[in-house]
Structure 1
Amino acid sequence: MNDRYIRISTTGLVVRDDRILLGRGDWPQPGTYWLPGGGQQPGETLAACIEREVHEETGVRVTAGPLIQLREHIPWNHPGSPSTPHVHRVVALFWCHFVEEPDALGPTVPDDVQTGAEWVPLDKLTGLRFVPPTVQASLPGLITQAGGLNGFYAGDVA
């Protein structure tokens, strides 16, 4: 029996006052950061998915801006990947426009491994434990291009 399947999800890039909005948690190691996001539900647009997911993971309300990256992760092509080994992921990364922040930043519907959310200064981004690392490496360029974003397909990346 083949238990492999494809999961479509979104992540959001939210930048405000030279800070980036990130989720924080204990996967795959304690003190790991990631862009907020998660799986698309049947009947939900990708834009609605990222707006919901950012709110669930951080409490922050956003509106979806342009798609800035489409990437895949096929874990059986990347030995040693900490990802779920049977889930081929397709991830749409959106630039998100800040709308509103709650009195207390934090998840409204936290993931099992999530311990919080925070605004991280952009100059501290490179020193973080971050998943996936390929996204972390691409963030400075994506943030710099914020005014003239052009989406691209990143292919199957680790």
Structure 2
Amino acid sequence: MTAPTRIRTSAKAVVLHEGNVLLTRNIWNGREGHFLPGGGQETGELLPDTVRREVCEETGLTVEVGPLLWVLEGWMDHPGPLATENFHRVEVVFLCTVDGSAELVGGAEQDVDQIGLDWVPLEKIASLESLSPRYRAHLAPLVSGATPRAAYLER
């Protein structure tokens, strides 16, 4: 692996509403997959502001940002729109709730690979093959109503 060319910090949201978690549906590496909404931090932007902006851009929803859930870190050879870059990735995930309407109307600035949005019942997360196993495992405590402990997750 070649040395990363830059550090990319992003903020993601675990948005809960009425026993469901919000996921984006994307085409990634030629396959359909589910992802947590969120994205890259802009210069001078605090991470809670990043997650609010990104969730709104991708979903059209306004969220209240709650506690920090996870920090994921690793290197990524990006196969998507940033294919020319190899970067050190730091992803910060927050627990969020909907502030206002939970109707999925779509955001004004969706990612280029985003094809939809889904409210997925929490009890189905463990068997949702289209979601990263890392997220499936760490979302499991939410089914019982427990808030997962904050954790550092190395890729």
Q: TM-score, normalised by structure 1?
A: 0.82
Report how far residue 28 of structure 1 moved. Answer: 2.8
Report how far residue 102 of structure 1 moved. Answer: 6.2
Which segments of 5 or more consecutive residues in structure 2 lack a partner in the other structure?
A: none
What's the counterpart of residue 151 of structure 2?
A: 152
SS at match of 1:135: helix
What's the counterpart of residue 132 of structure 2?
A: 132
Report how far residue 87 of structure 1 moved. Answer: 1.6
Mapped contact 2:68–2:95 kept (Cα < 8 A): yes
What is the distance in 1 between the residues matched to 2:151 and 2:104?
A: 35
Mapped contact 1:9–1:90 kept (Cα < 8 A): yes
Mapped contact 2:11–2:91 kept (Cα < 8 A): yes
Superposed CA RMSD:
2.5
What's the counterpart of residue 34 of structure 1?
A: 35
Mapped contact 1:24–1:33 kept (Cα < 8 A): yes
Report how far residue 47 of structure 1 moved. Answer: 0.4
Percent identity between the aligned chains? 33
Runs of 4 or more consecutive aligned structure 1 residues displaced over 6 Å after TM superposition = none
Q: TM-score, normalised by structure 2?
A: 0.83
* Alpha carbons of structure 1 residues 31 and 58: separation in structure 2 relative to 1, 3 Å: same
